[in-house]
Amino acid sequence: MNAGIWELDLHGKNVLQAKQEVDAALKKADSSVYRLRIIHGFHGGTGIRSMLQEEYSYGREPKVIRIQGGVNPGITELVLRDY
């Protein structure tokens, strides 16, 4: 993992497992981490992508300032701080 960007590969996980893994990563992330890159896949990952939008946008999680889609539709990035 890059010091500034952590990647979480959630392929094969259901929505509950994915949320638990994202929550754990957010809890562990210190000030050196400015982005969580969530790899959820495109064809089977739309449930996880929807969960990320619902659970981590609009100020629901204090560490997340915004959510960005990646160039790849199977990737969603949680921005923790601007660099």
Q: Give tens-digit pLDDT for 19-55.
A: 999 999 999 999 899 999 999 988 765 899 999 999 9
**Cα 71 from Cα 11, distance rounded (Å):** 18
Phi, psi angle pair for 22, to nearest 5°: -65, -45
Mean pLDDT of 59-65: 91
Q: What stretches of 29-77 show up as alpha helix (H) in DSSP?
A: 46-56
- What's the structural domain count of the chain? 1
Residue range of the domain that includes 45: 5-79
Give the residue from 60, 62, 56 showing the smallest Cα distance to 38. 56
Please answer whether residues 18 and 51 qualify as being in contact, where contact means their C-beta atoms are separated by less than 8 angstroms: yes
CATH number at residue 72: 3.30.1370.110
